[in-house]
Structure 1
């Protein structure tokens, strides 16, 4: 998918997005459980770059966990960003946020950030070199030795167990038994529209983007989470 198609997809889903995926909350909760420890050594008044923030779930968690933090919120879908703004306003957090509708490369260079999150974003960048360039863009906006947390779908699609893992993953997402036809359609989509690759390769792509020794700290189904420190010479 190109960038306009991605924006259109999430514009369509925005209004009911949280309700649609509410049954997946245990996966998000498990991921967020680690964030406090990963970010624990950041300064008390850090500014965090949140890329592809969606409806703002991680912002709500981090904002409560670190009450003196501020956030730079990036989201290309106008409708998703509206939902995000409303959620943060209801939580009393909107005055701690700078909102930018668009992609990372269009964000004005306001400051260097203390940390970053990028959840289920880089998987839409199909070319590995472009994907590394995305992480290098993040690294260039961070202070030296800042921490980034990134998640993406990952799997070895050539492995014999992939079919069973994919079937399980789709059953969890659909909250119901899925047909063979649905499995085949999603398999095709994961081959053409989403860069589902082995987790080891994602770590290599992050490293090529200017981060040191990415650590895979989380997996739930196809979702894999990494954290990494921005290199000194990036």
Structure 2
């Protein structure tokens, strides 16, 4: 399902992933900390956590550092990103099982929590809904699901304004001009970004309850909800 056109299969892109993500996503590492806090509200000390879109391993590393009793199943379609995750995890890798693929390739669980950070915006609406529903099927009742991804108004001039703001923020963060142009084109024409209302509706339609927004920074939003 992956292809050579996918930047996450490009070794150079993968090598630069951590530094790029920290510049391109506001409060990138803070999102990992907040996700840990939200999971810890309900998950036991020996929680088994599903990390969907886990290539790079940065959020899984943050979770493992904060919670020594948690174990993880990390799922990502890119072999190169999973290899990067293994390197970044270092000594924590022993608590992580890697799975190449998508949600249908994840173990059945049951999991005490799940996350999908900066991944769902790559999926069109119907596939996003199916993915969220399959995550819920793998969770214990009441387990938290923490998501964060691009989500901003999608109508006319308001959409254009938020894309312009996103681009301006990338420039201010020191992202290379060529990469900024690629990002602008991707967000405007390729990435199936939805509005916040649509994203909340998908989580509810997938069967999650108490959908609560916990993070907003420019074009990125985060929600926690419960199985």
The size of the alignment, in residue pairs, is: 221
Give, in whole Å, the separation in 1 of the partners of 2:36 and 2:169: 26
Partner in structure 1 of residue 144 of structure 2: 147
Once the 2 structures are TM-superposed, how far is the Cα of residue 121 of structure 1 from its aligned partner?
Answer: 1.6
SS of 1:207 mapped into structure 2: helix
SS of 1:39 mapped into structure 2: helix
Partner in structure 1 of residue 89 of structure 2: 88
Aligned pairs for 1:154-165 (under 5 A) are 154-158=151-155, 160-165=157-162
Kindly indicate whether the alpha-carbon contact (under 8 Å) linking 1:171 and 1:177 is maintained by their aligned counterparts in 2: no
Q: Which moved more, 1:155-164 or 1:216-225?
A: 155-164
- Are 2:59 and 1:61 aligned? no
Partner in structure 2 of residue 28 of structure 1: 28
Give, in whole Å, the separation in 1 of the partners of 2:5 and 2:175: 29
Kindly indicate whether the alpha-carbon contact (under 8 Å) linking 1:148 and 1:227 is maintained by their aligned counterparts in 2: yes
Kindly indicate whether the alpha-carbon contact (under 8 Å) linking 1:70 and 1:96 is maintained by their aligned counterparts in 2: yes
Go from structure 1 to structure 2 and tell me whether the alpha carbon gap of 1:22 and 1:201 turns closer, same or farther (over 3 Å shift). closer
Go from structure 1 to structure 2 and tell me whether the alpha carbon gap of 1:17 and 1:165 turns closer, same or farther (over 3 Å shift). same
Once the 2 structures are TM-superposed, how far is the Cα of residue 148 of structure 1 from its aligned partner?
Answer: 0.4
* Cα deviation digits, residues 180-219 of structure 1 (max 9, x gap): xx67x75653354222121011000011112113111101
Aligned pairs for 1:38-57 (under 5 A) are 38-40=38-40, 41-57=42-58
Give, in whole Å, the separation in 2 of the partners of 1:102 and 1:19: 24
RMSD, aligned CA? 2.4
Kindly indicate whether the alpha-carbon contact (under 8 Å) linking 1:170 and 1:178 is maintained by their aligned counterparts in 2: no
- Are 2:201 and 1:204 aligned? yes
Go from structure 1 to structure 2 and tell me whether the alpha carbon gap of 1:7 and 1:59 turns closer, same or farther (over 3 Å shift). farther
Question: Taking structure 1 as the reference length, what is the TM-score of the superposition?
Answer: 0.85
Structure 1 gap segments, 5+ residues each: none
Kindly indicate whether the alpha-carbon contact (under 8 Å) linking 2:163 and 2:188 is maintained by their aligned counterparts in 1: no
Partner in structure 1 of residue 105 of structure 2: 106
Kindly indicate whether the alpha-carbon contact (under 8 Å) linking 2:163 and 2:187 is maintained by their aligned counterparts in 1: no
Question: Taking structure 2 as the reference length, what is the TM-score of the superposition?
Answer: 0.87
Give, in whole Å, the separation in 2 of the partners of 1:160 and 1:10: 31
Go from structure 1 to structure 2 and tell me whether the alpha carbon gap of 1:124 and 1:5 turns closer, same or farther (over 3 Å shift). farther
Structure 2 gap segments, 5+ residues each: none
Kindly indicate whether the alpha-carbon contact (under 8 Å) linking 2:21 and 2:28 is maintained by their aligned counterparts in 1: no
Once the 2 structures are TM-superposed, how far is the Cα of residue 64 of structure 1 from its aligned partner?
Answer: 1.1
Go from structure 1 to structure 2 and tell me whether the alpha carbon gap of 1:123 and 1:211 turns closer, same or farther (over 3 Å shift). same
